Structure formats: C-alpha cells, structure tokens
Amino acid sequence: MNQGILCCRRYAPPAMPRPVYLDYHATTPVDPRVLAHMEPYFTERFGNPGSVGHAYGWEARDAVEAARAQLAQLIGAAPREIVFTSGATESNNLALRGTAERTRGRHIVSVKTEHRSVLDPLARLQRRGFDVTLLDVIQAPHPVAGLLDLDRLRHALRPDTFLVSVMLANNEIGAIQPLAELARICHDRGILVHCDATQAVGKLPVHVDDLGVDLMSFTAHKIYGPKGIGALYVRHRPPVPLQPQIDGGGQERGRRSGTLNVPGIVGFARALELCLEELPAEAPRLATLRNRLFDRLAAALPETQLNGPALDQPAVRLAGNLNVSIPRVEGDALLAALRDVAVSSGSACTSADPEPSHVLRALGVQEAWVRASLRFGLGRFTTEADVDFAAAYVAEQVERLRAHAL
C-alpha cells in the first residue's frame, strides 16, 4: 500500500465540531424527507423524460409532470405556466431578458434593493439601450424601512414602460413588498410585473393570482430542497411574450432547452409541499426565535441596531430574518472571528464582491454601520439553544475584538 496514503489515513485530524448554522437565507439543508423522495430517480428511475420510446423515459416524464402539477397547484398556477430552470438566477435572467427581447417598450422599473441576479441582467439590458429606473425605498430608521413607496412607483412609470420587477421578500433585510397593490398599478397601464420570490415561496402564502404577477422566479434550495433546480412562473392567459435564452432541445415548450433534472424536480415539489404544510406553526416559531436572538444581542450589546422593518410587523418582514449592525467593530473581522456560528454579512451570491451591502446602503444606513452588519437567517432546524448560544458567542467575540482594538 502507498505509504503516503497510509500516513494520511493514520494521522487524519479529528473532525471539527460543526458551527451553529444561522445562514438559512443563503441555502438550506435538504430535508431527509425530500431526499428520500428523490433517491429512486438517481438509481432505479433514472430515465430521461425526453426518451419517448421506452418505459424509462415515460416513467421520468410522468414524474416530472406530476411534480409540475403539484408545484403549480401550490402557488395557484396552471401546470403549463411552470418552466423549470437551474435556479432563481436563471429564472430571473429568463424573465428580464426574455421579455425585453420580445417587446417594443424600452423602459424597465425595478428597486435598488433587488438581488444581483436582477440588478446585473438589468445593467446588461441598459448597456443594450434599454432605460432602467431603480427606485429608492423607505429609509432607515422608519418602521417599514426597505419597503417601496408606491407613489414613487406611480411617478416612475412611462408610456414606454413594459416591465416592473420587484422582489417579494428581500434576502438581506426580510422586507416584504406590497406586490398585489403594485401589480394593480402596473396592470392598469398594461405593464407586466415580474417578481423574484426566491425568499418568499415556502415562507409565506404565495398565490400568483392574489399577487397579480405575470412572471415569478423561485428555487428549491431555499426551501430544504436540492440545489440546481428552480422555476419561472409565466402567465399563460393572456400570454406573456418570452424569448428563450437557452436553445437546444426545445424542452419546456421551447422556453428553456436542456435535459430536465428529474430528481431535482421531484424534490422541489416535495420540499414546497412540506413547507406549506408546516408553515402555520413554523412562521410563529421562527419569529419567536428571531425576536429572542435580537433581544439577547441588544441586552449584551446595547448599541446593536436593527436593519430593515420593525420586528413587530409580521406582514412586512420575514419571520426568520434578522439583520443588525454592531458598532465599534469591523464586520469582516467579526465575521472571521465567528468560527462557531455560520452567519453572513449580506447576500451569499455577492460574497466575491468586497463592497459592503448595497441593500443597507439603499436604506440610507451610514457606511460605518453597513460595514458592521450581520445577517442571521433562522430555519427549520434552528433551536432555542442555537439562538442562545449565538447571541452569547457573538457578544463575546465583539467584546474581544473591541478590547484588542484599544
């Protein structure tokens, strides 16, 4: 036997304790019940749904269509209105660029606090000659900081506006936007509405007719499903014009080519089903834990500032979201010190960008407080013990860093 391999095996370091996970906005673990539902489609039922000439393909196709129907029913859509993608980023790109390429309008309206998977495609469209207006939100420290002022939206709309894109629930501050009223304003002027509902689906009751949206992006890995599978709701009546962004096999009624991820699709549907079954009990549980975490942080570190809407307004803030700034300590240094708690300083999708949170900047939070921010995301497997440990541990590390800075 190779001696190097033997040495590595003999002297492998012991497994380190896992940090307490409080970053559920970045991703979630796959629920064991979801994994069990997916497993047969990796091994026994591994067919390609596009293989129409034999039983393996038929079996996979039937599984996909059953999952499509289930997902559609859970959000109040028709099965033909669900387009499977690789995730919410692709769904957002397909919605924004796909509609822009099939319209005569030249103006799009969105919000400064949107996710980068909306802002970056809009910047690309702007470089191609489209006009893009990014709206301000209600500023901190207002109790509904982060929400869109609908009068501001009304004043921004123009005769050539063809699309408004606003996320339902913000991934950093948990702000829940008034989508239904926004959609009525837009539809009165014949304007399409796209909604990035990545952080909302499975955490809020989401029904596309109640919201009035024409396009809606969502994904599985935020709701205890697998990574690599998402969906775009595309309203069928009246039809939404959509130019495909991926060509190849003509799958998904020609709207998104590519071999379908069968295990991911069946897991997606099961994950959302479980979330909605458990939502009536889960949302208040998470809100209670979130408030307990904030109260303990504020008691230990009295200067702690809440970012985003007030915690006592469940209609405008996600139950499991907490974003705070802790002054007199650098956020990057604090994040590096928190080895036993997994949290973030913003969106996981912008971790390669060293710039501070564009969301907190858009709220008018002063630069020093933006750089001293932490985002906590609580989820299905978060316990009271996790919250208590995290609050005490963060306070301990803050005091240690402050002492070393003297």
Long-range CB pairs of 71-75, under 8 A, 24+ apart, other chains included:
71/231, 71/268, 71/269, 71/272, 74/269, 74/272, 74/273, 74/276, 75/201, 75/206, 75/207, 75/208, 75/216, 75/218, 75/233
| Residue 259 pLDDT grade (very low, low, confident, very high; cuts 50, 70, 90) | very high
Site of tokens 């509902």? 197
What are the residue ranges of CATH 3.40.640.10 in the chain?
A: 32-272
| Residue 228 pLDDT grade (very low, low, confident, very high; cuts 50, 70, 90) | very high
**Per residue in 81-134, pLDDT tens?**
999 999 999 999 999 999 999 989 999 999 999 999 999 999 999 999 999 999
Note if 349 is an active site residue: yes
| Phi, psi (degrees; rounded to nearest 5) at 377 | -120, 115
Tokens of 129: 């000659």
Residue 157 has pLDDT above 90, yes or no: yes
**Per residue in 198-216, pLDDT tens?**
999 999 999 999 999 999 9
Contacts of 397 (CB under 8 A, 6+ apart): 334, 337, 338
Of 243, 282, 229, 299, the closest CA to residue 68 belongs to: 229
| Residue 262 pLDDT grade (very low, low, confident, very high; cuts 50, 70, 90) | very high
More confident residue, 134 or 52: 134
Contacts of 47 (CB under 8 A, 6+ apart): 54, 55, 56, 57, 58, 59, 60, 61, 262
Of 126, 70, 71, 75, the closest CA to residue 97 belongs to: 126
What average pLDDT does range 193-199 have in this prediction?
A: 98
Please list the residues that pair with 377 across neighbouring strands: 23, 321
- 177 half-sphere exposure, CB direction, 13 A CA radius: 30
Classify burial at 136, counting beta carbons within 10 Å of its beta carbon; exposed 0-12, middle 13-18, buried 19 or more.
middle
Name the helix (H) or strand (E) containing 196. strand 192-196
Percentage of the chain modeled with pLDDT above 90: 87
Q: Does domain 279-405 have CATH number 2.40.50.110?
A: no
What are the residue ranges of CATH 3.90.1150.10 in the chain?
A: 279-405
Contacts of 106 (CB under 8 A, 6+ apart): 129, 130, 131, 160, 162
Residue 11 has pLDDT above 50, yes or no: no
Percentage of the chain modeled with pLDDT above 70: 94
Other Cβ atoms less than 10 A from the Cβ of 141: the count is: 12
Q: Are 259 and 251 in contact (CB under 8 A)?
A: yes
**Per residue in 374-404, pLDDT tens?**
999 999 999 999 999 999 999 999 999 999 8
Instruction: Report the pLDDT value the prediction gives residue 360, as an integer from 0 to 100.
Output: 97
Of residues 7, 186, 275, 349, which has the active-site annotation?
A: 349
- Structure-derived torsion over alpha carbons of residues 242, 202, 315, 368, reported in degrees to the nearest 10: -80
Assigned fold of 32-272: Aspartate Aminotransferase; domain 2 (3.40.640)
**Residue type at 68 in one-letter notation:** R
Contacts of 67 (CB under 8 A, 6+ apart): 265, 266, 268, 269, 270
**What's the first-to-final CA gap in the chain, in angstroms?**
55
What average pLDDT does range 28-37 have in this prediction?
A: 98
What average pLDDT does range 294-305 have in this prediction?
A: 97
SS3 78: coil
Other Cβ atoms less than 10 A from the Cβ of 124: the count is: 15
Instruction: Report the pLDDT value the prediction gives residue 354, as an integer from 0 to 100.
Output: 59
- Mean residue pLDDT of the chain comes to 93
| Phi, psi (degrees; rounded to nearest 5) at 337 | -80, -20
**Per residue in 309-360, pLDDT tens?**
999 999 999 999 999 999 999 878 888 999 999 999 865 554 455 578 999 9
Instruction: Report the pLDDT value the prediction gives residue 341, as an integer from 0 to 100.
Output: 97
Instruction: Report the pLDDT value the prediction gives residue 332, as an integer from 0 to 100.
Output: 83
Tokens of 338: 């928190």
